[in-house]
A and B are shown apart, each in its own frame.
Chain A
Amino acid sequence: MDMWMKVGSALLLGAMIVMLAPRAMQMMKESKAAEAGDWPSFILPLLAVGCFVALLMAMV
């Protein structure tokens, strides 16, 4: 990656962090607490995605 691409990418990522940070703080405060069974219902599909991606990586 040439220097201009590095500088441009860094500026873009820095801007994203600056724009997202207040929203992340707000979400941390306002997100509702997880109820029983909420985390497994999130982790199971994510595990399925992980296995699927591993399968695709083995295929190529």
Chain B
Amino acid sequence: MQSTIANGRSQAAVLSTNKLIRNTYMLLSMTLLFSAVTATASVLLRMPPMTYLLSIGGAFLLMWLVLPRTANSGAGLGVVFAITGLLGFALGPMLNMYLSLPNGPQIVATALGGTGVIFLGLSGYALTTKRDFSFLGGFLFVGLLVVLGAALLNIFFAVPALSLALSAAIVMLMSGFILYDTSRMVNGGIDNYLIATVQLYMNIFNLFISLLHLLGFASDD
């Protein structure tokens, strides 16, 4: 009797985790497509550089102030699309800058493909090994704070080597966050697919921008 109850609970937990993973990846693919649409619009409209700051600022305000209050309601879905739409729109000025380089389209396509390969590879690894990566939490968050602090200083000192090192560090940190966030979904650290989607989306977004920066540097243009 006890084992039946235990099996029943375990089965319910597995079903719930599978549902969370399915919903998260479905919403993630929809938001990525939506971002691609808003990014294309931003590129075609040739939005000025300030668009990047304003859109990201708006997206972060929604993420910090609105999403936590709406994550358990239907309105949360709209908030997730607003956040990802704004972040996609923010990419316009940066993409225009890279696309104007002689081999710009190749750089952008390589960054896009590379981001996809890294995300799918690491997600597949975290999902199949089912290893618990929650021990990484403190390390990743402190690493992120250090990188943000160094990026803040580099705005005013503008050291190109530091900028490059920061991009490389962000690629590594976001790779760690992909493992950490995916593992949290599998091992029950998170139970809301809207939050999980935004976290994974942010990992992909930052990974893409940093990869674009590294590839732009490597192309000598």
Interface residues of A (CB under 8 A from B): 1, 4-6, 8-10, 12-17, 19-21, 23-24, 27-35, 38, 41-42, 45-46, 48-50, 52-53, 56-60
| B106: A residues at CB distance < 8 A | 60
Are B211 and A12 interface neighbours, CB within 8 A?
Answer: no
In the complex, B25 has a CB within 8 A of chain A: no
The answer to whether B155 and A20 have CB atoms under 8 Å apart is no
Distance between Cα atoms of A38 and B56 in the complex (Å): 35
- Considering the chains assembled together, what is the distance between the CA atoms of A21 and B155 in angstroms? 20
B contact face: mostly helix, strand, loop, or mixed: helix
B49 to chain A, nearest CB (A): 6
**B residues engaging A (CB < 8 A)?**
49-50, 53, 56-57, 60, 64, 103, 106-107, 110-111, 114, 117-118, 121-122, 125, 129, 131-142, 144-145, 148-149, 151-152, 155-156, 158, 168, 171-172, 175-176, 179, 211, 214-215, 217-219
Residue of A nearest to B135 (CB): A34
A-B contacts, CB under 8 A, total: 122
Q: For chain A, what secondary structure do more than half of its interface residues adopt (helix, strand, loop), or is it mixed?
A: helix
- B80 CB, nearest partner CB in chain A, Å: 18
Name the CB-closest residue of B to A38: B135
